[in-house]
Structure 1
Amino acid sequence: MKSILLPTDFTDTTSAALDWAKLFARQTGAAITLLHVYQPMLADTTLPMLGDTGVGMLAAHDLEALSQNRLSELATQLETEGFTAQADWRLGTVEEEILLASRQYAADLLIAPHGGLATIFDRLIGSAADGLARDATCPVLVIPMLSDTDLHLPAQVRSIVYAMQPDSTQSEASDQLGDLTAIFDVPVDYVLADDVSASPADLVVVTDYKKGGLFSTNPADRILSDTKVPVLVYHVKA
């Protein structure tokens, strides 16, 4: 593993994802690319005008500058902690830019928070995590956003559960888990996808076979919607 891509918004929403990025980078020596996608807002034409520019537009420019500075500061902080890090700030549609960046940086791992609708960023990134898990060309580590009543554990991998599906093969599982078990040197418990929630682990691994329809659901989607622990999503090789 050489390259980790981490979309961030600098809030608690992605702090857990940052901890997991550090864990994988520390274990593998991979570089971390911090990505912030600024999705432009329409200027509020109802606000008073200041000169020739609306106050709403000025506020948007201030937010752009603030996010650029925060991203640079976070990259510097990671470097101070001994990580190899770089910052990438860009304008655009959140999910599209994340997928584009994952290809441009040849990311070996994309880390995405998955959560509710507590903030605007949750709506943009948290709800986009399912799409990222399906459409990315690299493995995606989805970090669930836990409530105040959930048990919050540090980023650690002491046990792994692999979700077996009808299309799963031992060869495929071994290929996917080979590097992972070498990195963390922990046991793997193979369970049926329907039994994942009843199998305690620090990390769940599942393959997205892109199935699902009117009368069926994709097991990977179901696991992502129910999980309280990080889920590493692999994709079927073409």
Structure 2
Amino acid sequence: MKRILVPIDFSDVTSPVIDLARQLARAFDADIHLVHVRELTAAATPGTLGYGLAGMPELAPMAGVPVTGFEPMQPIPESEDDKSKLARWQKEIAQDGITITLHEPTGAVAEEILNQADVISADLIVMGTHGHGAMYNLLVGSATKGGLMHSSRPVLLVPVPRAYA
């Protein structure tokens, strides 16, 4: 095992996922490839689902209805806190003597995770069992479920820590 793909989303399970991936990388002298998928607004506009065109601006262009301030299919902006977490994790992993590469594709989460796994020829995918809340997963889908159902590579799941479950 030489390449471990680690999808991250800044949820409560991200730190335990990274910790386990670091342990595995040290044990098997493997590289870590962190993947943070930048979701598109059409897939993840907060507070818009379930209210007709007024609540689903991503459908408005199809109906010819202009929606002020909404640009469909744009990446959701990253917060400064998220950017600093990514930099910190990269630095900590590198300090362990592990080769670390960050990938930040834009698109549908499960699809991009599987795509990156193919691009790097991942030997293992280490990911959390939960990211977004239950309502998001019900309406949009779970990257974990998508990754498991369509991956031809081994997937190791890390559960949410008890303190957050």
TM-score between the two structures when normalised by the length of structure 1: 0.49
Q: Does 1:21 align with 2:21?
A: yes
For residues 73 and 149 of structure 1, the distance between their equivalents in structure 2, rounded to whole angstroms, comes to: 22
Structure 1 residues 15, 124: CA separation in 2 closer, same or farther (over 3 Å shift)?
farther
Contact 1:6/1:111, CA 8 A, preserved across alignment: yes
Q: Where is the helix percentage greater, Structure 1 or Structure 2?
A: 2
For residues 132 and 40 of structure 1, the distance between their equivalents in structure 2, rounded to whole angstroms, comes to: 18
Structure 1 residues 104, 124: CA separation in 2 closer, same or farther (over 3 Å shift)?
farther
Contact 2:3/2:32, CA 8 A, preserved across alignment: yes
For residues 11 and 2 of structure 1, the distance between their equivalents in structure 2, rounded to whole angstroms, comes to: 26
For residues 163 and 3 of structure 2, the distance between their equivalents in structure 1, rounded to whole angstroms, comes to: 32
**Share of identical aligned residues, percent?**
31
Secondary structure of 1:6 counterpart:
strand
Please provide the CA RMSD for this pair: 3.5
Larger RCO (CA within 8 A; separation ≥ 6): 2
Q: Where is the strand percentage greater, Structure 1 or Structure 2?
A: 1
CA positional deviation for 1:95: 0.1
Say which one has the larger Rg. Answer: 1
Secondary structure of 1:142 counterpart:
strand
Structure 1 residues 133, 68: CA separation in 2 closer, same or farther (over 3 Å shift)?
same
What residue ranges of structure 2 are gaps of 5+ in the alignment?
49-53, 56-67
Query: Match for residue 78 of structure 2?
Result: 64
For residues 20 and 139 of structure 2, the distance between their equivalents in structure 1, rounded to whole angstroms, comes to: 20
Contact 1:115/1:122, CA 8 A, preserved across alignment: no
Query: Match for residue 35 of structure 1?
Result: 35
Q: Does 1:133 align with 2:148?
A: yes
Query: Match for residue 3 of structure 1?
Result: 3
Amino acid at match of 2:153: C
Query: Match for residue 90 of structure 1?
Result: 105
Number of residue pairs the alignment of both structures matches = 141
Describe the superposition over 1:79-134 as per-residue Cα deviations: whole angstroms up to 9, x where unpaired.
02321111001110000000000010000000111137537887799933233123
Structure 1 residues 79, 116: CA separation in 2 closer, same or farther (over 3 Å shift)?
closer
Amino acid at match of 1:107: A
Amino acid at match of 1:139: P
For residues 139 and 30 of structure 2, the distance between their equivalents in structure 1, rounded to whole angstroms, comes to: 27
Contact 1:36/1:90, CA 8 A, preserved across alignment: yes
Q: 2:115 aligns with which of 90, 93, 100?
A: 100
CA positional deviation for 1:33: 0.3
CA positional deviation for 1:6: 0.1
For residues 149 and 89 of structure 1, the distance between their equivalents in structure 2, rounded to whole angstroms, comes to: 26
Query: Match for residue 76 of structure 1?
Result: 91
Secondary structure of 2:105 counterpart:
strand
Describe the superposition over 1:155-213 as per-residue Cα deviations: whole angstroms up to 9, x where unpaired.
xxxxxxxxxxxxxxxxxxxxxxxxxxxxxxxxxxxxxxxxxxxxxxxxxxxxxxxxxxx
Structure 1 residues 87, 93: CA separation in 2 closer, same or farther (over 3 Å shift)?
same
Which aligned pairs between 1:145-164 and structure 2 lie closer than 5 A? Answer: 145-148=160-163
